[in-house]
Amino acid sequence: MKAVFKNGGKQYIVSVGDVVYLEKMNASVDDTVTFDEVLMLDAKVGNPLVTGASVEGKVLKQGKNKKIRVFKYKQKDRSHRKTQGHRQPYTKVEITKING
């Protein structure tokens, strides 16, 4: 069974046992989280949401991504490599159950 749910302004397609990286949530490790904004469940498409459907998951980890490497290039000059940008916080969630 596959489902498409919305979280943090993004849409994720998942099935049971998948591990997804989501925007940081207010949950601690080993908490169970429920996503009620299910847009699609197998072949059933919601208008805009599927009624009575939800996706449950277990929080595995919270952290920050690595900083990205940036190459700045100017013509007839040497390119410079530097670490730049911010580290996006994330929540790693394993999907345990799809209700619907």
Note the pLDDT of residue 100.
Answer: 83
Q: How far apart are CA 32 and CA 60, in angstroms?
A: 10
Give the pLDDT band of residue 94 (cuts 50, 70, 90). very high
Q: Looking at per-residue confidence, does 76 or 25 come out higher?
A: 25
Overall pTM surpassing 0.95 (yes/no):
no
What's the distance, CA 23 to chain centroid? 6
Note the pLDDT of residue 81.
Answer: 67
Q: Write out pLDDT tens, residues 25-69.
A: 999 999 999 999 999 999 899 999 999 999 999 999 999 988 877
